[in-house]
Structure 1
Amino acid sequence: MFRYLTSIFLVGGIGLLPLVAQAETRLMMAEEPGCMWCARWHSEIGTIYGKTGEGEAAPLYRVDLTDPLPEGVTLVRTVNFTPTFILLKQNTEIARIEGYPGEDFFWALLGQMLRDHDVDFVVKTKAADAES
């Protein structure tokens, strides 16, 4: 009996893994080929984003605006500008930043967006913290 229950739990638990992964908070970046502001974001922030507290709390998920919306993602409205940064919780939009206002404004807006939606993150105050 124990072996039977264990196998049901393991199979059921493995089947739930995709549901747990979808519960993550992510930052979806909608971009398109030739977008100069997207290129600027990648050059100024893209290389360090994943090493920051914000990037750890909301990992980047890039999508091409010219492709269909990824299955399971629900947006409040369509994306009209690139880049657009959409905060997703359980694959549902909870906030967005339209456009790229420059490095300083981006971090401030992103931090406020995360705080407004109770996404915990640690601000790394030294550039070395983010680059290590």
Structure 2
Amino acid sequence: MYHMVRQMLQKISRLALAVLTTALVWPAHMQASELLMFERGGCVWCQRWDREIGPVYDKTAEAKLLPLRRITTESQAARSITLASPVHYTPTFVVVDNGREIGRITGYVNDDAFWGLLAALAARIAPPRRSANRI
């Protein structure tokens, strides 16, 4: 009898662990939209973006809608992301929504061009629905 109780407790604890793990991992997968920055070491345009945009990006409304994820071109296999075509040039910024590419910015010229192009891509993403009970 004790053996059966012990087995049942082990099953319950495994189930609880699975539920807890899912609860912790699920929010990371729920991020519907993001900005992928494909870069490579020694890229002077990537470094320029880092100097001009990097320090302020996380503080912008765009970052709230499109959190930045950096990917090196060497490890380009963006898991669970469907790209329209491979990335060949750096930096390349890919706007992704629900795992699919919405659009991309290839290269970096200056901050005005970047913000304008990013705004156009961000406009393609539907805003999250608000609950009818929220004010």
TM-score when normalising by structure 1: 0.74
Structure 2 CA distance for partners of 1:16 and 1:73, relative to 1, 3 Å:
farther
Cα 1:46–1:119 change in 2 (3 A) is farther
Q: Which amino acid aligns with 1:34?
A: G
* 8 A Cα contact 2:34 2:66, kept in partner: yes
Cα contact 1:31–1:62 (8 A) shared by 2: yes
User: What are the within-5 Å matches in structure 2 for residues 22-101 of structure 1?
Assistant: 22-24=29-31, 25-101=33-109
Structure 1 portions without partners, runs of 5+: 1-7, 121-132
Q: How far does residue 66 in structure 1 lie from its aligned partner after superposition?
A: 1.0
Deviation of 1:116 after TM superposition, in Å, equals: 2.3
| Structure index of larger Rg | 2
Retained in 1: the 8 A contact 2:94–2:102?
A: yes
Matched residue SS, 1:96: strand
CA distance in 2, matches of 1:21, 1:91: 13
CA distance in 1, matches of 2:117, 2:76: 27
Please state if 1:107 is matched with 2:115: yes
Structure number with the bigger relative contact order (C-alpha 8 A, sep ≥ 6) is 1
SS of equivalent to 1:38: helix
Instruction: Provide closer, same or farther for how the CA distance between residues 39 and 65 of structure 1 changes in structure 2, counting only shifts above 3 A.
Output: same
Q: 1:9 to 1:119 in 2, by over 3 A?
A: farther
Query: For the structure 1 residues 17 and 87, does the alpha-carbon distance in structure 2 shift closer, same or farther, using more than 3 Å as the test?
Result: farther
2:28 maps to 1:21: yes
Report deviation, 1:93.
Answer: 1.3
Distance 1:46 1:83 in 2: 13
TM-score by length of 2: 0.73
Q: How many residue pairs align between the two structures?
A: 114
How large is the RMSD of aligned CA atoms in angstroms?
Answer: 2.3
